[in-house]
Structure 1
């Protein structure tokens, strides 16, 4: 029988190729085990670094793996931070990682196992991809191994083990590989694979969308500089088309982020956020304490832990190899493929340029005392506006050094492979370079946090998994510090111990993977108003106010963790919980007690009274802060979980009744109002009217306050404003007066004040948010102090004026104050104050008694 020698040769080559890939994969897997040791010993019940972000990301991956196959349309309506919407958009969606982990999740239902599987898979695929890229560029397997090792397990990547959305970059080198192949050789297969790997990497996190776009941009720009033939420009066009098609595929996942950005205040990374997490020159000398070589290194090195954004020191070996890759030029006797014209002109330079771009971007908006113009331009274009930590652009530096270092290995190896060199000297040199890089980058004995899984998870969560579609809240939360203002949309949430608070909230959402019930608790990169307001109110649980709030939200169960209650207060809380109307004990599960909330009635929309609060006069050219004063006139609490800002249209008429201007504004619907409570919904208008007197008609076309028409009057006239005041004076009194008696402290207490402007100066109640952050001079606010005798014993708080207040005008100011956590008789003292000019006008006070209960 005739033997097809060509077919046999192809089979041998194919077998050899698969054997090579298997060896490479095994090598990177072994390196992953060594560099992350002892994580492999706790693959199914431990996370590296800490139990904060890893558990959040394990929850995201598990939610994706579960929801994509059961209810993909509800992907972004995740189960935490109820009642907020699109909550998955508060973090990275990590859809690709969810898909890759889905088979393992559905087989084991172990989020920790899935998370660690992705970490190790990321190492192996990142190393393999960089290996194949460098073999393509240099024809050197050792260059591929060195580059793959550094890209997969560099010190920076190890420091990102807690941030899998930054650590996980397996498709980035594959994207570069197929882009390089397509630009060099063409072919539909290469173009499709380039677009596919671009899409896969960009869908791992929004960070990588920016990183991929910059990488592709650098490649195509460099290619364009040397393109002359029509077919070269055609390939550039096809590459751009592949990127465009990939971006189209991402639109459905971008829409929830755009919705959240439109309706939620502060849902964007500001320049000041970027400055706080930008790299500095010291960071490029920062090493891990677990680094085997640099652990005991002193000056000039600094230490940074796993999870830090600051561990940017790459090591001397990779820098030396990268320099060799750049500086070693071809000589006449050099015949190795790495010295070929195409790799030398079109392979290495784009990665050198990419490293420079990544380094520049890592410094964020500022380079010392000057603006970082490229970063600022990309920020204004929106490309990096979602990135909190510019130091993460170091991923591009790592990729650049990996590739340039691979070129260095290939060139040095080729130079030692000459007739005059001893036999095998090239292999000895290559092995020496690999060993040096391995030893310099090696990390060992990483901190690993054990996490309960399976039957080790507290019984209460497994019980919840059997309770159907119910909503829960887990209390108590860790104590909060003062937020200063409690009556604004941008309410602060300030735990006494940030790490304890957020670690505990993260653990709760991890536990939720064992029941998947909607829960008020949660942790993410963004905290919506509802979340901050509810957890602040919950400090007073089980007060009647908090019980009413939870009932209105449809909460069925309160999970109470006695381990978080101070020993000296356990008897007190035991009495309060079991004597509070509306609460019923369902059962005890070790340190957890489950209380069921009885259903309660809620106020209807027609029971809300709405009045327009606006300045009676406005200086020409000024915008005006106005507000809607909303009062719950019913006997039941009002709860509205609507996040969409609602529109109000204002029409200004002159004295003859002719239209003078139309302005539109938006306001946040009222969230929670106890019976009889009032709140203020602020909005800003700038009608641009000339001096004169005007009637104003305000219409609310839709929403919970829709169908209401309001009227007011406004005069536009020259008046000194409080940012350059003439005379500041005010009368102040507490509306309702009398003593306020509370059963227990903490939580929020509504108070209402009446303010009369007795000076000749227009009081500014607030500025545009960004302007006020830069310069709040002239903003008038209510300063509130809790006193015992003459001593201030609790946080100083602030109330926001309902609108700008003209001279002679009287307005009502409803506000929320936070009650001290201890029993006693207090005097709440309030006085107006102006930023930059200090307090002024009369004081007003009200007595508040926190009685507690007899034990």
Structure 2
């Protein structure tokens, strides 16, 4: 397996990833890719997530869930996707380079490369010829869903899902121990790189026996090997999934939030407006829908249609029916609460009984599974065309793949320059020398928009340097204590806000210059007996919160 994985020809996907993310390669140590994100909040938050993983690795994962945000909430790291396996890839690169931005970008390029390699192995495992499998891998590297989500690194990690599908098929054909081990490892890796994809994958694994189960699967050796796959997956997930489920059980998304993040049919005919061919194909739409862009690309779609037609009689019908059903299920789930059958909302029923869905915000992301199932059919289509009339078929393959990937070009990639002095700002170094105690950062976000949390996420990155927990925070889920804190701190300084800070163990308030107004300056003077200015530079002022005894 490892020999095949590192075969040189597969690593063609690395230069392809570099080209498709250009000019990121010129700015690896200094810039973060944004994808379709309107601000750098989410990429920087994911950088913080990977840094926290690296930090906890050095401590042998002690207090892993108790990240230094939303103080004094316990288990705050569980409020978002923890990505422990991605963090494990990130940690040694950061340690060697000393540059977390460089490590983040190298991990991202590695992910895109592994996506292509995994797709290649999936297609080869389906008896698709080498050239067609290599081209299919290229289509996955350039998948439009991934490049829209380039700023959300956990949504770019497709290779564990692809390996899971590869070993699911292999195990149903020959129930060997090797295939069982591969399946168990791939399932575990999917959850440990993206809890979104892990949850989605579990749905397809649960319905797969309806299509793929055979009588010989009940033989003793097959059952024993299946148990090995289950035990491996459980062993990998046991340290993470149950704890995260317990810590987030109190949360639930509102129906309004779910509806706002549910796809509509027209979204599947829309490409991102920054892509080269977003309005070229006559059937593509440039308006309407939920705002998502879920079109898989004309090249992929054309090849998938050819594959759908060519596999009607030549391929295992159970596998083909599983793939067809997978496409339908993925699309319907992506519609979320916007899909109904009369008065019945199927997605709401699914939320009510399927663990983890109550905390999930964005059903539209299930569209990526529809694209992956289409990719498998595209692999069959590539193989069929490659064999058809020799040079004519091969010429058509080259044209379709080239034009298809050109249509999806998203160049130049949108990048955000990481603030060069963020980690070693003078006030951060000063605060690192102070006694233990929590910190409040001002200004607070003015509302709930992602862009407004950029300062908060920068502060979270800085907290990893100075070592003090924050009462502030950004995450996928926000605890009620944070909303209470922001409601009170919007009137800082006053007696209620100062009492709240003392209750939460806050010893210092760090204020950016953008917060100051004449009115606030006057109020700070009024409360000078409870707030001592202990640090100031041209951008940042720090006050110590004095005890009531003082």
TM-score with structure 2 setting the length: 0.90
The Cα of 1:48 is off from its aligned counterpart by 2.1
- Counterpart CA distance in 2 for 1:147 and 1:374 is 33
Richer in strand (by share): 1
Q: 88, 112, 120: which is aligned to 1:131? A: 120
Match of 2:258 among 274, 277, 283: 274
Matched, 1:24 2:10: yes
Equivalent residue for 2:461, pick from 510, 535, 556: 510
Q: Is the 8 A contact 1:585 1:595 kept in 2?
A: yes
Matched residue, 1:534: 485
Q: Distance in 2 between matches of 1:553 and 1:71?
A: 28
Which residue number corresponds to residue 382 of structure 1? Answer: 354
Ranges in structure 1 where 5+ consecutive residues have no aligned partner: 1-12, 332-338, 418-423, 480-494, 603-855
Q: Which residue of 2 aligns with 1:459?
A: 426
Say whether the 8 Å CA contact 1:288–1:304 is kept in structure 2.
no
Contact 1:59 1:510 in 2 (8 A): yes
Q: CA deviation at 1:85?
A: 1.3
2-side partners of 1:246 and 1:371: how far apart? 38
Task: Report the alpha carbon displacement of residue 75 of structure 1 after superposing the two structures with TM.
Answer: 0.7
User: How many angstroms apart in 2 are the aligned matches of 1:257 and 1:427?
Assistant: 49
**Alignment partner of 1:403 is 2:376:** yes
Q: Structure 1's 119 and 468: CA in aligned 2 closer, same or farther, altered over 3 A?
A: farther
Does the aligned pair in 1 maintain the 2:170–2:179 contact within 8 Å? yes
**Would you say the 8 A contact 1:218–1:353 is kept in 2?**
no
Map Cα deviations across residues 219-247 of structure 1 (whole Å, 9 max, x no partner). Answer: 332112xx233666863674366236523
Which string of whole-angstrom CA distances, capped at 9 and with x for unpartnered residues, describes residues 199-220 of structure 1? 0111223212222212323433
Q: Please tell me the root mean square deviation across aligned C-alpha atoms, in Å.
A: 3.0
Deviation at 1:155, TM superposition (A): 1.1
Q: TM-score, normalised by structure 1?
A: 0.59
Distance 2:323 2:158 in 1: 16
Question: Does 1:324 pair with 2:296?
Answer: no
Range that drifts further, 576-585 or 199-208: 576-585
CA deviations on 1:335-378 (whole Å, 9 max, x unpaired) are: xxxx4xxx443554432222222112111134256367653443
From 30, 33, 50, the counterpart of 1:45:
30
Q: 1:785 aligns to what?
A: none
Distance 1:373 1:501 in 2: 34
- 1:177-576 pair list within 5 angstroms: 177-224=166-213, 227-229=214-216, 235=222, 238-239=225-226, 242-243=229-230, 245-247=232-234, 249-261=236-248, 264=250, 267-294=251-278, 300-302=284-286, 310-328=292-310, 339=314, 343-368=315-340, 370=342, 375-383=347-355, 384-417=357-390, 424-453=391-420, 457-467=424-434, 469-479=436-446, 495=447, 498-565=449-516, 569-570=517-518, 572-576=519-523
Matched, 1:154 2:143: yes
- Return closer, same or farther for 1:187/1:400 CA change in 2, 3 Å cut-off: same
Unaligned runs of 5+ residues in structure 2 are none
**Distance in 2 separating the partners of 1:366 and 1:542:** 45
| In the alignment, structure 1 residue 117 sits paired with structure 2 residue 106 | yes
User: Displacement of 1:141 after TM fit?
Assistant: 2.1
Query: Are 2:533 and 1:582 equivalent residues in the alignment?
Result: no
- In structure 2, relative to structure 1, the CA distance for the partners of 1:575 and 1:71 (3 Å cut) is farther
| CA distance, structure 2, for counterparts of residue 46 and residue 303 of structure 1 | 31
Change in CA separation of 1:478 and 1:166 when aligned onto 2, cut-off 3 Å: closer
Q: 1:36 to 1:133 in 2, by over 3 A?
A: same
Q: Deviations over 1:441-472 (max 9, x none)?
A: 22211221111146775322233334353311
Question: Matches of 2:546 and 2:478 in 1, distance apart?
Answer: 28
Distance 1:146 1:96, change over 3 A: same
**In structure 2, what is the Cα distance between the partners aligned to 1:583 and 1:353?**
63
Deviation for aligned residue 1:403? 0.9
Checking the alignment, whether the CA contact within 8 Å between 1:59 and 1:111 is kept in structure 2 is: no
Whole-angstrom distance in 2 between the partners of 1:555 and 1:37: 44
Q: 1:394 to 1:507 in 2, by over 3 A?
A: same
- Which deviates more, 389-398 or 574-583? 574-583
Shift of 1:42: 2.2
Higher RCO, Cα 8 Å, sep 6+: 2
Matched, 1:168 2:157: yes
Q: Distance in 2 between matches of 1:215 and 1:152?
A: 22
Report the Cα distance in structure 2 between the residues aligned to 1:601 and 1:239, rounded to whole angstroms. Answer: 65
Higher Cα radius of gyration: 1
Q: Which has the higher helix share?
A: 2
Distance 2:90 2:284 in 1: 42
Contact kept in structure 2, 1:51 and 1:507, CA below 8 Å: no
Aligned to 2:539: 591
Number of paired residues? 544
Deviations 1:40-60 (A, max 9, x none): 222222222231111111111
